[in-house]
Amino acid sequence: MKPARRQFLAASAAAVAALPYVAAAETYPTRSVRILVGFPAGSASDILARVMAPWLSDKLGQQFVVEDRPGAATNIAAEAVAHASPDGYMLLLATSTNAVNATLYPNLNFDFLSDIVPVGSIDRVPYVLEVNLAIPANTIAEFIAYAGANPGKINMASNGVGSGPHVAGELFKMMTGVDLVHVPYTGNAYPDLIGGQVQAMFSPIPASLGFVKSGQLRPLAVSTEKRLVVLPDVPTVGEFVPGYEASGWHGIGVPKGTAPDVIDKLNRTITAGDTDPAMTARFVELGVEALPMTAAEFGKFIAEETEKWAKVIKFANIKPS
């Protein structure tokens, strides 16, 4: 066979091999896509997934269906996506909890950092330190003083061991030296927080903003570096505890091996949503901030978050429940 003939056949074979990926990217999606959420209905993650899903459906021409699959601290949903076919039809609503779990659960049947490929960031979720109205504190300084005078007597609720609210609280304890008793919930903690069975919580704003605005809970501070548009009069924790910052986040991940062009198509659509005025206005209403990133930037961000929370987990000696 002549060299030119061999080169032509080799080039043709390479082009044919590449066709499925090209076709997948050009036509994707051709059927409905599932977004797995590791938290129950009504959670901040569920709410944000249901904000983004209609946008993706409208822009990509197929239904993006939110499927809540709670359990095992979000690991059930993450494992399902990690082991799914890498065809872009099962997505993970990746969250800060997944970054925490990478350290908290060393013996999982998947590796979040290698088996889930970052696609794009959606938003940052501020926490707000809320207290029961019976707590005699209106500022962080007063709360720290009260907690210092009453060690072990303030119960701090969370969405579960290793959840964002839990590690945000542990970071606060680590930086202030206060002794708060962690009380993890598998369900809704707000009735007990309002009723006084627990006294404080670093709560995701989308899930509790209504309680703050109705006056049922008292907000002391937000966890982000800057004050929030939705709660402009509430200071940041960092104004009293320099260097403190904690927030949740949401993004999309896919199984390792998903075609790069599919990842890019999803990223561009998510980013378009993050910069759309109507979408960003909806985010503001919920108390979250749009956080557009490239897939590479999102991957770097996840790695940094994983390292940050690993230090808190080790310091607080947090163990899986």
The string of DSSP letters for 208-259 reads HHHHHHTTSSEEEEESSSS--SSSTTSPBGGGTSTT---EEEEEEEEETT--
Identify the pLDDT of residue 40.
Answer: 85
Q: Count Cβ atoms below 10 Å from residue 96 Cβ, excluding itself.
A: 27
CATH 3.40.190.10 domain span(s) along the chain = 126-239
Structure tokens at 321: 């429940």
Query: Of 3.40.47.10, 3.40.190.150, 3.90.1150.10, 3.90.1300.10, which CATH number belongs to 19-125+247-316?
Result: 3.40.190.150
pLDDT score for 207: 85
Phi, psi of 81 (to 5 degrees): -70, -40
Pick the closest to residue 294 from 270, 275, 261 (CA basis). Answer: 270
pLDDT at 16: 41
If you search the block for the tokens 């701090």, which residue do you land on? Answer: 156
Q: Would you say 80 and 36 are in contact if contact means Cβ atoms under 8 Å apart?
A: yes
Structure token pair of residue 190: 């707000």
Question: What pLDDT score does 206 carry?
Answer: 84
The b/e string for 307-321 (b: 16+ C-beta within 10 A; e otherwise) is ebbeebbeebebeee
Nearest in space to 104 (alpha carbons), one of 78, 69, 66: 78
Question: Which residues have a Cβ under 8 Å from the Cβ of 181 and sit 6 or more positions away?
Answer: 152, 153, 154, 155, 156
Query: Which two structure tokens, joined as six digits, stand for 277?
Result: 């005025």
pLDDT of residue 285: 87
Instruction: Tell me the C-alpha distance between 146 and 143, whole Å.
Output: 5
CATH 3.40.190.10 fits 126-239, yes or no: yes
- Per-residue model confidence (pLDDT) at position 159: 84
CA 307 to CA 312: how far, in whole Å?
9
pLDDT of residue 163: 87
Q: What is the pLDDT of residue 229?
A: 87
Each residue's pLDDT expressed in tens, for the chain with a length of 321 residues: 444 444 433 444 444 444 444 445 578 999 999 999 998 888 889 999 999 999 999 999 999 999 999 988 899 999 999 999 999 999 999 999 999 999 999 999 999 999 999 999 999 999 999 999 999 999 999 999 999 999 999 999 998 888 899 999 999 999 999 999 999 998 789 999 999 999 999 998 888 899 999 999 999 999 999 999 889 999 999 999 999 999 999 999 999 999 999 999 999 999 999 999 999 999 988 889 999 999 999 999 999 999 999 999 999 999 987
- For the chain, strand residue ranges (E) read 33-37, 64-68, 90-95, 116-131, 154-158, 180-184, 200-204, 218-222, 247-255, 289-290
| Other beta carbons less than 10 A from residue 129's beta carbon | 24
Query: H or E stretch including 264?
Result: helix 260-274
Kindly calculate the radius of gyration of the chain based on its CA atoms and give it in whole angstroms.
22
> How high is the pLDDT of residue 24?
54
Q: Report CA 175 to chain centroid distance, whole Å.
A: 23
| Start and end residues for every CATH 3.40.190.150 domain found in the chain | 19-125+247-316
Residue 139: per-residue pLDDT = 96
